């Protein structure tokens, strides 16, 4: 495996760096630098800038609007975007449902949905988990009963991230209740404006309205909105989850967060010195940096496999587990660095404070710590990912 970039790849890296420096809006950069919540407009604005440059969907096939980049170029792009503090694209449309549509959808479905996803004209959300069906996704109970040219959908989806903004939701629904769990499931695209769809907010520990419960009461969905064959939605689900898990391990963002934490720790006074020089804290920082480097090389190994014609399998679970564990580790170190300064945080303060107050890293340390408790759960919990690796790699 060659871990050295070619001259052409180094030139491409410089091109990406220059683009971000010139085109990333200053207000979005400020929010990213201080860990502040992003608005829908922030995501859409940045995605449209990337779209105009032709860079919003590097992973898509070129025939549908992708870049035609090599796996190495895609890796460089993602790494540089993260390292520069650029806002990641909202994944539900561009990185999750779109690959399912262009892989399993009909010609008509591709023509109908992909252009608007590419241009960020439509906001998507995900309907997978349910109140009684999270890690065991195949136990879902939301029903879709065939009625002529429509399905009638009833049930509830949980943890619908940013569903309050969504125009469409992609859902797993049970179309054959008599079949085994992984069978009898179909993949539907549902217009959120359809009568019977309602979104109910769930306020998280840090006080944000990020997730929701989405209820379906006799919602009529055209059969034409089903992706793939009836009862074969589990195939789509597994394909989508592989993409989701691989995307979660963003080495560039981890390296930027580590660098920001190191700078912060160098300003926190402890006795006659600073926190960054305290042996215990410095050791934990070094251990985290080593772990991020190891994750980067593991990502490069997966990249090499993909470049040789392979596809990520159990490796996507490994990247997901380590990437999310490191996100949490960095948030824990930031909270420790904030110390007593993090105590004034309350959800009410965070909502009502002015921008200058919010820009204090200490004020957001607790909020980010609380928010990142979720990352080892979504996309398949760490425990489930370890089971996958045990079966796929060790054969146990």
Report, as residue numbers or ranges, the catalytic residues: 244
Structure tokens belonging to residue 328? 């949490």
- Maximum Cα interatomic distance, the chain, rounded to a whole number of Å: 77
Place of tokens 């981890």: 254
**Per-residue burial over 152-183, b = 16 or more CB atoms within 10 Å of its CB, e = otherwise:** bbbbbbbbbbbbbbbebbbbbbbbeeeeeeee
Distance CA 126, CA 97 (A): 8
Q: Do the Cβ atoms of 52 and 65 come closer than 8 Å?
A: no
Structure tokens belonging to residue 98? 């779109």
Where is 127: in which H helix or E strand? strand 124-127
Q: 288: helix, coil or strand?
A: helix
Residue 302, C-beta contacts closer than 8 angstroms, at least 6 positions apart: 246, 312, 315, 316, 319
H, E, C per residue of 39-75 = CHHHHHHHHHHHHHHCCCCCCCCHHHCCCCCCHHHHH
Nearest to 382 by CA among 287, 318, 335, 326: 318
Distance CA 385, CA 313 (A): 11
Given phi > 0 = left and psi -120 to 50 = alpha, else beta, which region is 367? Answer: alpha
Q: Report the chain's terminal Cα–Cα distance, integer Å.
A: 29
């Amino acid at each position: 495996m060659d871990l050295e970039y070619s001259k052409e790849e180094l030139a491409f890296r410089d091109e990406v760096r220059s683009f971000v420096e010139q085109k990333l809006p200053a207000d979005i950069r400020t929010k990213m630098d201080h860990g502040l919540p992003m608005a829908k407009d922030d995501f859409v604005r940045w995605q449209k800038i990337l779209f105009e440059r032709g860079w919003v969907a590097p992973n898509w096939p070129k025939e549908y609007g992708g870049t035609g980049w090599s796996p190495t170029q895609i890796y460089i792009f993602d790494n540089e975007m993260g390292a520069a503090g650029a806002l990641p694209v909202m994944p539900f449309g561009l990185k999750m449902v779109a690959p399912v549509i262009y892989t399993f959808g009909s010609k008509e479905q591709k023509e109908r949905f992909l252009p608007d996803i590419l241009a960020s004209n439509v906001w998507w959300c995900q309907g997978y988990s349910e109140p009684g069906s999270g890690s065991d996704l195949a136990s879902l109970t939301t029903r879709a009963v065939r009625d002529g040219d429509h399905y009638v959908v009833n049930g509830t989806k949980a943890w619908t991230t940013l569903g309050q903004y969504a125009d469409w939701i992609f859902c797993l629904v049970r179309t054959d209740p008599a079949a085994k769990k992984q069978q009898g499931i179909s993949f539907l695209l549902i217009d959120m404006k359809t009568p019977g769809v309602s979104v109910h907010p769930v306020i998280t520990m840090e006080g944000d309205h990020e997730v929701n419960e989405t209820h379906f009461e006799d919602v009529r969905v055209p059969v034409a909105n089903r992706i793939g064959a009836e009862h074969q939605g589990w195939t789509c689900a597994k394909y989508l989850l592989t993409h989701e898990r691989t995307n979660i391990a963003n080495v560039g963002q981890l390296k930027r967060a580590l660098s920001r934490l190191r700078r912060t720790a160098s300003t926190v006074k402890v006795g006659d010195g600073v926190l960054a020089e305290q042996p215990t804290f410095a050791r934990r920082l070094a251990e985290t940096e080593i772990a991020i480097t190891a994750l980067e090389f593991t990502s490069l190994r997966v990249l090499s496999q993909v470049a040789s014609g392979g596809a990520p399998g159990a490796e996507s679970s490994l990247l997901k587990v380590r990437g999310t564990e490191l996100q949490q580790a960095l948030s824990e170190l930031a909270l420790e660095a904030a110390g007593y300064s993090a105590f004034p945080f309350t959800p009410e303060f965070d909502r009502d404070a002015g921008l200058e107050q919010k820009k204090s890293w200490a004020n957001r340390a607790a909020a980010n710590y609380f928010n990142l408790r979720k990352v080892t759960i979504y996309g398949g919990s760490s425990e489930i990912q370890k089971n996958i690796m045990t079966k796929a790699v060790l054969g146990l």
